[in-house]
Amino acid sequence: MSQSAPRSRSVFIGLAVVVVAAVIAIAVWRLGGEDDAAEPLSTAPQETTTAPTTAPSPVETTTPTPTPTPTPTSTASCEGPDTLFNEEGTEQDSLLPDCGVAPVTRPEQEKSGLGLACGGSYPVILYKTTTAGAKTSICGRDASGEDFRFVTQPKGGDVVDLKGDYDGQLDAFTAKDGDTSYLVQAYDGTLVVEQDGKTSKQKASDWISLDNEPDTD
């Protein structure tokens, strides 16, 4: 009797250990299963649609058109107080007539002679001078000045149209009408008139030359 009791106790303890081990194993297995169930299912990757990037439209810029600088031209048809003759400095074929005076036509020249604006067969104004007592123009057949007319108009008088000559020693345009002789000093526009033995010398208030008359003796 004394030996069977301890043996039964040992068997009981052994069984208890086995049961506890089984319980622990079951618990561990269940916990592992729950973890697997808690783990989220893998899902198929979602396609991400990216909107195409649109390049910004270039901004149209309007470039202002530069205003051309106007080129000065000799558009004046006559010479007035504010006229700048030959502003461009290019070679000209004739001086401009005074405003208010028109060149004559050939028929007018044949009938009444030339005027201060020249014209007819002597269309080129080679020289002009204004003095206190008269206005005078030298009218050339062309710009060479080899053949010209001496046209002068005394203040308050009629126009006088005469054949002209050039005096190289005096640098002057000359003409003669009967007993009256005329002379214009080309270098300063002075008008000298000799009539009835008297000489009148009038300094120019304004004069201009085409600057291509021949300086020959």
> Is residue 119 very low, low, confident or very high in pLDDT (cuts 50, 70, 90)?
very high
214 domain-assigned? no
Q: Can you give the pLDDT at residue 65?
A: 62
Q: Can you give the pLDDT at residue 76?
A: 72
155 domain-assigned? yes
Residues 31-59: what's their mean pLDDT? 55
Q: How far is CA 39 from the centre of its chain?
A: 83
> Is residue 93 very low, low, confident or very high in pLDDT (cuts 50, 70, 90)?
confident
Q: Is the pLDDT confidence value at 177 over 80? A: yes
18 domain-assigned? no
35 domain-assigned? no
Q: Is the pLDDT confidence value at 44 over 70? A: no
Number of domains in the chain: 1
Q: Can you give the pLDDT at residue 80?
A: 80
177 domain-assigned? yes
> How far are the Cα atoms of 18, 37, 159, 205 from residue 26, in angstroms, in the given order?
12, 16, 148, 138
Q: Look at 149 and 47; give whichever has higher pLDDT.
A: 149
Residues 200-205: what's their mean pLDDT? 96
Q: Look at 148 and 72; give whichever has higher pLDDT.
A: 148
83 domain-assigned? no
Enumerate residues 6+ apart whose C-beta is below 8 A from 154: 133, 134, 160
Look up the domain containing 198 and give its range: 106-209
Q: Can you give the pLDDT at residue 21?
A: 73
